Structure formats: structure tokens, C-alpha cells
Amino acid sequence: MGSSPVTIPFTFYRFLVIGLTALAVLAPLSLVFYQSVLTAPFFQPAAQLSLNAYRFVFSDNDFWTAFVTTVLLAGGMTTIAVPLGAALAFLMARTDVPGRHWLEPVILVPIFVSAVVLAFGYVVALGPVGILTIAVKDLIGVIPWNLYSFWSLIVIAGLTHVPHVYLYTAAALRGLGSDVEEAARTMGANPWRVATGVSLPMVLPAILFAGVLVFFLGFELFGLPLVLGDPQGLLVLSTYLFKLTNKLGVPSYQLMAVVVVAIVAVTAPLVFMQRRLLRQAQRYVSVRGKGVRSTALRLGKWRWPAFVAIALWFAITVLVPLAGITLRSFVETWGEGVVLSEVLTLEHYRELTEYPNVVRSIVNTLGIGVIGGAAAVLCYTAIALAIHRWPSPWTRLVDYLVMLPRAMPGLVAGLALLWVFLFFKPLSPLRETPISVWLAYAIVWLAYGMRLISGTLIQVGPELEEAARTIGASETRVKLDITLPLIRYGMLASWLLVFLIFVREYSTGIYLLGPGTEVIGSLLVSLWGTGAVDLVSALSVVNVVMIGVGLLIAVRLGVRLHG
């Protein structure tokens, strides 16, 4: 007996993985907390323990303005995204709205396109001298909107987060039996009454969860407020943090750390609240998840109006900014009186190749997406396997551990990782390589990746593993011979999704940006700051194309676009 060639007990592996995960998660966070109670950057010998940084930040009016703005922005976008997302979910999941089969992946596009790219797109399309703005002005003589206003920011943030609400609400709605709707229908309710009176109330826990999620994402917003709010001096917490870098002339790490602590103090409870709400929502659905038969509710004369409403939302949220940025990348210049046919050019794309940092950013982005994505999936799988079907309180600890990084917005996580690289000297050689960016990405998306892998693992019947145990396989052998081969397609699908997320990511790389660590996302933010609109447009299109190809492959392979 005990013929397994692997002699290291699986328990050793478990604790090794838990230890490494804890280190990767807790080191950056602890460093931030430590830095926040110092008087100077941690690497300066003069740094002393003190709460001065807290006093400074909390007495700064700009901080409080940014805080209130963030709350208003998050609240406003939630107010817009939740009803629209719920309505969209009802139409897509329960009715015969035209095109609902091919619309599904299309609706999710805003989740996968980088928010800065969308923001740039809005500026070049709807800004004061935007392509669409000028066209409208030529037509009716006035500009009916002002892109650089707080209201525009809220509306755009709200519209781009409709898919998040849609995802969770639609999933819950699909679990409902259509009998409850048919009952209402036979009693004389029209589709609108069915939605608001029967279907949506039944999935309220899912909608509630989505609402908290969107509010939480409001605290993470960076690209949209940076591009759309900054020109009018509108600061949210993340952009306040970003501007703080130069507030005192010297790198004021301790102040940044305090802002990070303030952000995490809000986001961490929201993350844990989401976890509880999600459980509740799933319980709600699974109760009636048995043998549901679902037939589409016929909308009748409302079919096409409903389709037009969806198309309108999609046009404003995706088409206008993406078409804008694409068009901008093919023209020399844009302004009033410019004739399109005279300014068409491919010059900007050629220019991209002239800048070594731009070329590196494209190579690094692909590398981090493809190779880094695979490596991240392997890491997530290693962690998920370590706690898979382990009846131990340690699994709860790991559950919480992997959720912690979720409380750090990407910008913050990138900053914390930068400090880790500066603090732990043996790591500093990695600082100038894309590995540093990859590590930050992998940690930021830990919770997401773990959810993907656990979702796959849960589908492996326990008796398949038990059968191998009774036949004589050790725990390690079972994982290698049975569990891993059974989840290989799930791992491939996760790889694709992680690729999309990594290619899209922009905020996490900002503080790590330097020669050798450029990625498209962070370089875009930096180039936008210098006003290089031509380059930014072309590079944005490159980024969107990468994501588009990834999405196409995912859809072709039938990968579910959400975990």
C-alpha cells in the first residue's frame, strides 16, 4: 500500500500554498498600513512613527471634497445602472426580444473594454471639439451637451456599468420557472407588469447584490473621472490619490498611504457585504432551481421598441466612444471645418512603431495576457486545489484571504506592490521587468480568478475523487490524475477570461510604469497626460482589437463570459 511516488504529504503542500498566498496578499496591505503611520517614505532613515499623515489628509479640504464626490458618483451610477440593468436582464432572459441570442456577448463588451479607452472615446466623440459634437453643432447650431460636467460623468459611469447588473440579474432570472410569469399573464398582466410585479421582485437578492457591486465599483473608478472629471478640477478619491503624488513636491508616500487606507476602509466592508449578499442571492435561486421549464414571454407590439431601447443604450455606451476613437486614429487632425476625406491617414499607426516604449507596451501587454494569464490561472488553480474539498477551518481563512485584494482598487494595488518591490531588497531586480506588473495583476484579480477555478472544481463529482482514493491513490495523486484532467477545459476558459482582463487592465500598472514595465493601459494614461491624442487613439484601437480577438475566440469556443 501507499505506492504513490509522491512522498510529500498533501498537507505540506496545502500549508505551503496558504502561506505563499497570505504573503502575497498581506505583504502589500501591511506595508501600506505601516507607511501610513510614518512621517516620511519608509526607506528614509528619518522616517518615524506618527499619525501626522492622517492629520494632514483629514484636514485637507480637497480630500473631503473628493470623498463626497466619490460617494455621489458611486450612488448616482448605481441609481442609473440598477434599473437599466434589471430591465435589460428581464428583456434578455425572459422575453422574445429580437436578437437576444447574439446580443448576449455584445452586451458584455463594456465589461471587457478598458474604461480609459471608453473615456478617450467619449472625449474625441462628444467632447467640446468632438467628432459627433461638431456634426451636431453644424446641424442644429448649438451643442446640446457638456461632456465635462459631473452629470455627464455620472451618466456615462452608470451606462457603462449596466452589464454588471445585467449579468447577475439575468443569471437569477434564468433560474426562475416561467410558470410564475405565465400565471400573471393569464390574469391579465402586460409584460411590464409581469417584470415589475413578479419576475424582478423574485430575484431581488441578486439585484441587491449587483447594486452593492456597482456602488463598490464606483469607489474603484479611475479612468473615467481622470479623463472626464480632471479637466474641470473634479477629483474623486482615486484621482485625488493620483494627484497627491506631486502635492508636496517630494514623493509623499505617507499621505498616499493614508488615502489608500481611507479607500480600503470603505471598500473592504463593501467586499464582505457583497460576499454575504451573493450567498443569499444564490440560495434564493437554488431553492427553485429544480426542473425549471422556461418559455420566452411574448412581448407582442413591444418587441421592437424593446430592441430599439437596447440598441440605443449600446450605441451610447459602446458604439459612440469606440467609433469615435477608431475614427480619430485614422485622421491627421480634427476640428471645425475639417473634411474627413482630406485628413484620412495611417500615419498614427506607423508612428506607434517609432516609440520603443509603445512597442514594448504592446509586447508586454500580449506577454502578460498570454503567458502571464496562463501563469496566473496555474497559481489560482494551485490555491483552489489546496483547499478543494478540505473539511477544515483553514479554507474559510483562505476564502477571506483571496477576497482582501478585491478591496484594493487597481491603482492602489499597483502602488502597494511598488512599495513591496522597494521594501524587500531581494525583489528589486524584478521591479524593472514585466514580472512586477504581472504579480500586481495576479494579486488584484485573485478573487476573480479563484471564483472561475472554484466554479470549475465544484462540477467535479466528489465520488470521482473518492473512487480514486479507495482504489489506492494518495491525495496528491488524486489531484494530479483525476481532478486536474477533469478541469482542464475550465482552466482553458479561465485562461481566456484572465487574458481579456489582463489586456484590459490599466490602473494597476500606473505606479509600476517605467522603462521595461510598460503595458498599453498604463502607457495610455501617461500619454494622455502629455496630450498625444494621435498616439493614444491608435494605441487604444490596438488594445480594443486585442480584446476583440480574445472575445471572438471566447465566443467561438462557447466560453461563458462570466464566472
Partner 1 sequence: MADLTVNDLALRYGDNEILKGVSVKVPPGRVVALLGPSGSGKTTLLRCVAGLETPHRGRISMGETVFFDAGAKIDLPAEARGLGLVFQSYALWPHRTVFGNVAYGLKLRRVAQDEIKRRVGAALAQIGLADLAERYPHQLSGGQQQRVALARALVYEPAIILLDEPLSNLDAKLREEARAWLRQLIVSLGLSALIVTHDQIEAMAIADHITLLNGGVVEQEGTPTALYQEPATLFAAEFMGNNTRLEGKLVAKADQRASIEVMGTKLAGLARSSAAVGDKATGVIRLEKVTLAAGPGPNRLPMTLKTQMYIGERWELVFVKDALSVRAYSAAPLDRESCHVEFPPQALWIF
Binding site for partner 1 (CB under 8 A): 1-4, 461, 463-464, 466-475, 477, 481-482, 485-486
The least distance separating partner 1 from the CB of residue 494, rounded to whole angstroms, comes to 18
User: What is the SS3 string spanning 184-242?
Assistant: HHHCCCCHHHHHHHHHHHHCHHHHHHHHHHHHHHHHHCCHHHHHHHHHHCCCCHHHHHH
In single-letter form, the type of residue at position 436 comes to S
Listing DSSP states for 67-84 in one string gives HHHHHHHHHHHHHHHHHH
Shortest distance, position 465 Cβ to partner 1, whole Å: 9
Report the alpha-carbon distance of residue 459 to residue 296 in Å, rounded. Answer: 28
The three three-digit cell numbers of residue 459, written as one number: 462540477
> Minimum distance from CB of 400 to partner 1 (Å)?
22
Contacts of 237 (CB under 8 A, 6+ apart): 66, 67, 70, 219, 259, 262, 263
Q: Which residue has the cell 439585484?
A: 207
Measuring CA to CA, which residue among 169, 446, 178 is closest to residue 297? 178
**Residue among 179 and 481 whose Cβ is closer to partner 1:** 481
Report, in Å, the least distance between residue 490 CB and partner 1. 13
**C-beta of 248 vs 464, nearer to partner 1:** 464
- Based on CB atoms, which residue is closest to partner 1, 303 or 389? 389
Give the residue with the Cβ less far from partner 1, 95 or 474: 474
In whole angstroms, what is the distance from residue 227 CA to residue 123 CA? Answer: 8
Give the span between the Cα atoms of 154 and 176, in whole angstroms: 32
Residue 377 CB, shortest distance to partner 1, in Å, is 19
**Measured distance CA(408)–CA(63) in Å, rounded:** 18
> Which residue, 1 or 46, has its beta carbon nearer to partner 1?
1
Smaller CB separation from partner 1, 10 or 42:
10
- Nearest CA to 439 out of 16, 115, 28, 19 is that of 28
Which CB, 474 or 543, lies closer to partner 1? 474
CB 478 → partner 1: shortest distance, Å? 8
Nearest residue (CB) to partner 1, 20 versus 480: 480
Q: Is the CB of 193 or the CB of 488 nearer to partner 1? A: 488
Q: Which three cell numbers stand for residue 93?
A: 432572459
Nearest approach in angstroms of CB 406 to partner 1 is: 30
Cα–Cα distance list, 315 to 109, 130, 152, 272, 312 (Å): 12, 16, 16, 35, 5
Smallest distance, partner 1 to C-beta of residue 190, A: 45
Q: Find the shortest distance in angstroms from Cβ 449 to partner 1.
A: 23
Residue 79 neighbours by CB under 8 Å, 6+ apart: 158
In this structure, are residues 524 and 536 in contact, taking their beta carbons and an 8 Å threshold?
yes
Q: Which is nearer to partner 1, 365 or 476 (CB)?
A: 476
As measured in angstroms, the least distance from the Cβ of 479 to partner 1 is 13
User: Which grid coordinates are listed for 345?
Assistant: 491617414
**Nearest to 57, CA basis, from 330, 256, 305, 349:** 256
According to DSSP, residue 389 is labeled T
